[in-house]
Amino acid sequence: MNDLRNAGKYYWHYLKRYWRGFIISMLLIAFSTWCIVVAPTYLGRAVEQLTTYLQQWSSPATRGQASLTPFNHTLIIYILLYVGDASTIFISSLILARVTAHSTGTMRVGLFRKLQRMKVQYFDTHSDGDILARFTSDLDNIFNAMNQALLEILLAVAQFVGLLIVMFNQNVTMAWVTMASTPLALIVAAVVMRKAGVAVNQQQDDIGKLNGYINEQITGQKVLITNGLQQDSLKGFAGYNAKVRQSALTGQIWSGILNPLMQGMSLLNTAIVIFFGSWFALNGSLSTGAALALVVVFVNYAQQYYQPIMSLTSLYSMIQLAITGARRVDEVRNQPEETNPARGHEMPAIQNGLQIDDVHFSYVPGKEILHGVSIDVHRGEMVALVGPTGSGKTTVMNLMNRFYDVDQGAITLDGTDIRQFDLQSLRTNVGIVLQEPQLFTGTIADNIRYGDPQAGMDRVIDAAKQANIHDFITSLPAGYDTRVSDEQSVFSAGQKQLMSIARTILTNPRLLILDEATSNVDTVTEARIQAAMDNVIQGRTSFVIAHRLKTILNADKIVVLKDGQVIEQGNHQALLAENGFYAELYRNQMVFD
């Protein structure tokens, strides 16, 4: 029930702007409903008129009075009612198709915009495949349901209400007889729908997990091949796929059984109406023609009574998928967004420096990662963060760019807490070169100017030269117009990293963070990247996170982190003289170098 309520709120949020189309469609559907529920009365009238005609024609005394004119007129009206029904349904379907196309397009745009405003935490805790599934299968399920089921739902509700009104106007007793099996049908439907809803919810969640696994395996395909892990990968896939198959089968069984059950209830209901209608005709005070017409009309109503219910049950699987899809998409829509101060300051040029003051932080409440970290950085200094894996180096970087906010303490720039700066201004002035460089579909020039789309080619070329990648680019047939993407590119890992550095140089950040930029390259490429890093660091306040200590020997300050705490600080020579953890780490690395 909560899923249905939340889905209703979600659809209302996006469909309320199309109220004019809905009003026109509802008026057309109301006319269609009037046509379809009134038509049986004309059928009954035609039967009565035909019976009267046959009785008059069969008697020589009244044969001259016999006329088919009333029957013909009634038959024409009966046909016109069905023509009117078909015409209005066609127009309604066109209007609702337009509403569906526009509203689902708006949903897709809304979901993508939401992703741009969400906290990084969501992306760190959800697989790419699961997020992608919300864009693809969940939104496709919503579109399919709205495109195919929306009109059916509106028609079913309108026809059901209209049919009840007309039945009670015709004959109250027969109306109650027609509705006799309704309580049993509702109980059966409620039980089946509850079981189906649970199964379909599980199915969509399992599909999201399967997509996440597939995305992970495709991304790491080279690792799988290199280590001969294809069979292990297949076993893992088989496990996820088995869960999807089982939940899909369960959902289809429960959803599929509903329509046959309702068809059986419809046949039972028709039999009840025929039995009581015949009894009423034989024992009532109506004439033979009127009684026969009444039976014909209510047999028709009995069949129509379950038609809306059967229409909905035949679409139930699709409707449930749309409800589940709305729940999953709405989960994203309700995720907290990054906090931007209402009157945030523009980040100024750094005058004195940056201070990390007694910072405590935890990704998961109760499991603290940083324990009172304090670092003072003067303007123009290069500070290196070193330490074993899991010591908190990348976490410090995440906090400085406000991917996350501190739990306690503060990070200040010239005495101003960075949480008081406008988020866009902060991100514009803090440049990051990540360990895993990212390329985007487009040209090489487009990728370099990604941080500043308005930059001219002279600035792009200058940035590439400073990053030591210009010569390679010009050696390509198309030069800076070479088409690349992250999946298919002419770049090695080191060249991608140099392009990432060129992109950062172009943005001219006031504070620079380099997160293990040389960790995945050979020594020759490392030297080129190091030279590019020296160019981008020159004159800027910067942080360098490094595992290879020889890349940060010239740092103004080296901060050693271990288990989320600062255990040593100083320059290279001072830390070697202390003969502590850094000195041991340095000597161990030099043995292998």
Per-10-residue mean pLDDT of the chain, 593 residues long, equals 71 82 84 79 76 76 75 85 86 84 84 85 80 82 78 77 80 80 79 76 78 74 67 81 82 74 78 76 60 71 76 73 82 84 83 89 88 89 86 86 89 89 86 80 86 85 85 87 70 80 84 72 64 74 82 86 89 88 83 54
> From CA 510, how far away is CA 515, in angstroms rounded?
16
Nearest to 560 by CA among 394, 395, 369, 385: 385
> From CA 38, how far away is CA 31, in angstroms rounded?
10
Confidence at residue 360, expressed as pLDDT on a 0 to 100 scale: 93
Cβ partners under 8 Å of residue 203, min gap 6 = 244, 247, 248, 250, 251, 324
Question: What number does CATH give the domain 353-592?
Answer: 3.40.50.300
CATH 2.40.50.140 holds for 2-333: no
Confidence at residue 285, expressed as pLDDT on a 0 to 100 scale: 57
> From CA 532, how far away is CA 517, in angstroms rounded?
11
Tell me the domain boundaries of the chain: 2-333, 353-592
Q: Residue 356 is encoded by which pair of tokens?
A: 């990390």
Q: Supply the DSSP string of 30-96, one letter for each residue.
A: HHHHHHHHHHHHHHHHHHHHHHHHHHHHHSTTTGGG--SHHHHHHHHHHHHHHHHHHHHHHHHHHHH
**pTM (two decimals):** 0.66
The answer to whether the beta carbons of residues 166 and 37 sit under 8 Å apart is: yes
DSSP 8-state symbol, 401: T
Q: Containing H/E element for 541?
A: strand 541-545
- Tell me whether domains 2-333 and 353-592 share a fold: no
Confidence at residue 282, expressed as pLDDT on a 0 to 100 scale: 67
The CA dihedral of 419, 424, 429, 433, to the nearest 10 degrees, is: 100
Q: Residue 586 is encoded by which pair of tokens?
A: 């340095």
Helices (H), 284-415: 288-314, 316-333, 393-400
The answer to whether the beta carbons of residues 466 and 532 sit under 8 Å apart is: yes
> From CA 393, how far away is CA 31, in angstroms rounded?
69
Cβ partners under 8 Å of residue 170, min gap 6 = 41, 294, 297, 298, 301
The CA dihedral of 118, 119, 125, 131, to the nearest 10 degrees, is: 20
CA distances from 178 to 115, 172, 276, 280 (A): 52, 10, 10, 13
